[in-house]
Amino acid sequence: MAIGAIDVIEAGTAFPSRRALHDARIHSPLQAGIAGGASVGAESIVLSGGYIDDEDYGDELIYTGHGGRDHTSGRQVADQEFTRQNQALVTSCLQGLPVRVIRGSGHQSAHSPSTGYRYDGLYWVDSYWKERGTHGFFVCRFRLVADPGLRGDVSERQIDGSGVPARRAETTILRVIRETYLGKRLKRMYDYRCQVCGTRLECQGGPYAEAAHIRPLGRPHDGPDRLENLLCLCPNHHVLFDKGALLIQDDFKLTDDVACLHVRRDHRIDQVHLQYHRSLWS
Amino acid sequence: MAIGAIDVIEAGTAFPSRRALHDARIHSPLQAGIAGGASVGAESIVLSGGYIDDEDYGDELIYTGHGGRDHTSGRQVADQEFTRQNQALVTSCLQGLPVRVIRGSGHQSAHSPSTGYRYDGLYWVDSYWKERGTHGFFVCRFRLVADPGLRGDVSERQIDGSGVPARRAETTILRVIRETYLGKRLKRMYDYRCQVCGTRLECQGGPYAEAAHIRPLGRPHDGPDRLENLLCLCPNHHVLFDKGALLIQDDFKLTDDVACLHVRRDHRIDQVHLQYHRSLWS
């Protein structure tokens, strides 16, 4: 088990075979596409063209989980679950662990090598969800984002309280919160109070809240940046909403079917987006 | 007032004078180093060597706020406060607004132009605090981080629920949560419960918590990545701690002097780091 970079092997290094990847400890299993365990997280993934639902944009990947395929035809014949190797990628997301990404020539994207395999460095798991795949069954999906500075040390030398240089801190990204101009407008409408719990974080210098897109921005969801797709949430409820623990019904009742989202009259929320969000966690 | 990029003016564009910066709307005031307002945020800053406490690492800046200087000698003769233009930079941080950065030849860093001024693109305000400056008075400090992809659209086209291409969403960064291996260990020690409120965010796929460095990692604080400098917090209390609304006394009593941080026996917290954190918000 090794999470993160392997010794001196740099991104871009070519390998002739799965055996060679195994020997270099870049990707240990000889067949499985995901290496790792549910509790420790994912070590590495191989993009080898096995799943037709994968999408490869180079620095951004929409990766399909493991399971539910017929061994002979390769067709999806059952739903995937967030268990075993799929859970490993969920754990990597929840804990901010980096994942090694390897592309194989069989992957057939513009970013694949022409022969063999190529180690393409570390990615972080930005989000995970479920959706109905091309063959009609639910598949687990993961958005991975490459970051060349992912494992960059935050400073050349870490100095401890006594002035003695300490070991350098290797940091990875756990979560990035993005903001749009409309998000700012929405937060003002709600006076920075969470629409779920009413919390207003009073910081030195002003209040703090986050604007959450119901149907996420960016690939593959491509949710719109419009008020009807936005919620004003405290960071805790933003995490719970993004990670599927907080679902909102069309009548704004929350997961427990008792509490209700606070919605201002001048804030029209589009039920279609709520339905999309719930569909990610069915 | 204009927040963000100005039309077609690209990072790297040279300007002969403050008047030229003004005419191009890159930096409107002819004298002040910070343009903007307390409620709308900071538009732009000029690094022109006025403050000896500024630190310039290129893509990362430690910027000193405005005020408290003797007009003749330029010496700091009084404490700075988070008001007016300094508050503008705080607002930019709390709301995730981008700030235009201009370097002048008077700035005398390795990153300054040899003559005139240069617009160096958009930065985001990563954090703010107070500290005792070189002349013995408190100064407001800001850590700004350049991000070439800061205003990159999250996708080429945003598609709304009806399939109609919508306007692109311009996103900025509001907050980045980084993780270290020790942080992960600490969160396991506390079973992902916040040391302030006991909250454990139960997400689909597992629990979520954040590890907060008491004395921050990275420049200029250079806090160590050690358990005695770490707290396990929920996202809400992490925000409050990082933004100075949650202070912890040496006996672990919290700001209100009633509630107390939960600390396990096997988690030794170094009071020196708590003192350092409090000193940032004195």
CATH of the domain at B132: 2.30.280.10
Tell me how many residue pairs between chain A and chain B have CB atoms under 8 A apart. 215
Q: Which residues of B touch A57 (CB under 8 A)?
A: none
How many Å apart are CA A250 and CA B163, to the nearest integer?
21
- Strands A34-37, A14-15: pairing is unpaired
Q: Is B164's Cβ below 8 Å from some Cβ in A? A: no
> Which chain A residue's Cα is nearest to B240?
A203
Q: Clarify whether residues A208 and A128 are in a common domain.
A: no
**Interchain contact, B210 vs A174, CB within 8 Å:** yes
Tell me what pLDDT residue B181 has.
86
Residues A190 and A100 in one domain: no
Task: Check if B16 contacts A (Cβ < 8 Å).
Answer: no
Q: Are residue B27 and residue B119 in the same domain, yes or no?
A: yes
pLDDT number for residue A154? 40
User: Taking a contact as any Cβ pair under 8 Å apart, which residues of chain B between 52 and 71 contact chain A?
Assistant: none
Range of the domain at B89: 14-146
- Total tally of structural domains belonging to chain B: 2
Summarize pLDDT for A109-126 with one digit per residue, the tens.
Answer: 889 999 999 999 999 999
User: Which of B128, B146, B164 delimits the end of a domain?
Assistant: B146
User: What is the Cα–Cα distance from A91 to A125, expressed in whole angstroms?
Assistant: 9
- Please check whether residue B83 is in contact with residue B128, taking contact to mean a CB–CB distance below 8 angstroms: no
Q: What is the CA radius of gyration of chain B?
A: 21
Residues A31 and A85 grouped into a single domain: yes
**Cross-chain CB nearest to B205 (options A82, A154, A179):** A82
Considering the domain boundaries, does residue B160 fall inside one? no
B137 and B45 assigned to the same domain: yes
User: Is A85 in the same domain as A26?
Assistant: yes
Per residue in A234-256, pLDDT (tens digit) is: 999 999 999 999 999 999 999 87
How is residue A213 written in tokens?
Answer: 């897109």
CB contact residues (below 8 A), chain B span 138-157, against chain A: 154-155, 157
Q: Which residues of B touch A180 (CB under 8 A)?
A: 169-172
Last residue within a domain, chosen from A100, A125, A146: A146
Mutate: best of A89, A157, A160, A255, partner B, most B CBs <10 A: A160
Residue A187 within a domain: yes
Per-residue model confidence as pLDDT tens for chain B (282 residues): 788 888 788 999 999 999 999 999 999 999 999 999 999 999 999 998 766 778 899 999 999 998 888 888 878 899 999 999 999 999 999 998 899 999 999 877 889 999 999 999 999 999 999 988 778 899 999 999 987 555 444 433 444 444 444 456 678 888 888 888 899 999 999 999 999 999 999 999 999 999 999 999 988 999 999 999 999 999 999 999 999 999 999 999 998 778 999 999 999 999 999 999 999 997
Q: B73: distance to nearest CA of chain A, Å?
A: 30
Instruction: Confirm or reject contact between A184 and chain B (CB < 8 A).
Output: yes
The torsion angles phi and psi of A31, rounded to 5 degrees, stand at -120, -45
ipTM of the complex: 0.88
In a domain? residue A206: yes
Which residue in chain A has the smallest CA separation from B220? A155
Chain B environment of A168 (Cβ under 8 Å): 225
* B84 and B189, same domain (yes or no): no
8 A C-beta contact, residue B99 and residue B122:
yes
- Tokens 């003004």 — which residue? B22
The confidence score (pLDDT) of residue B153 equals 41
- Residue A174, φ and ψ in degrees, nearest 5: -95, -40
Same domain, B188 and B96: no
C-beta separation of B38 from B30 below 8 A:
no
Q: What is the pTM of this model?
A: 0.89
Q: Which residues of chain A lie closer than 8 angstroms to B97, CB-CB?
A: 179, 184
Q: Cβ A181–B170 below 8 Å, yes or no?
A: yes
Q: How far apart are the first and last CA of chain A?
A: 32
pLDDT digits (tens, 9 = 90+) for A146-195: 875 554 444 334 444 444 444 566 788 888 888 888 999 999 999 999 99
Which site among A57, A122, A155 would you substitute to test the B interface, given the most B Cβ atoms closer than 10 Å to its Cβ?
A: A155
Whether residue A3 lies inside any domain: the answer is no
Nearest CA in chain A to B87: A205
Please indicate, yes or no, whether residues A65 and A21 belong to a single structural domain of this protein.
yes
Report the range of poorest mean pLDDT among A13-22, A105-114, A227-236: A105-114
pLDDT value of position B168: 60
Instruction: Check whether residue A88 and residue A35 sit in a common domain.
Output: yes
* Band of pLDDT at residue A99, cut at 50, 70 and 90: very high
Taken as a whole, chain B contains a residue count of 282
Taking the C-alpha atoms of residue A136 and residue B208, their distance in angstroms, rounded to an integer, is: 31
Are B112 and B39 in a shared domain? yes
Q: Are residues A133 and A38 in the same domain?
A: yes
Q: ∠ CA B196-A38-A122 to the nearest 5 degrees? A: 85
Task: Compute the nearest-CA separation of A219 from chain B (Å).
Answer: 6
pLDDT (0 to 100) of residue A50: 64
User: Last residue of some domain: A146, A162, A191?
Assistant: A146
Chain A residue closest to B82 (CA)?
A205
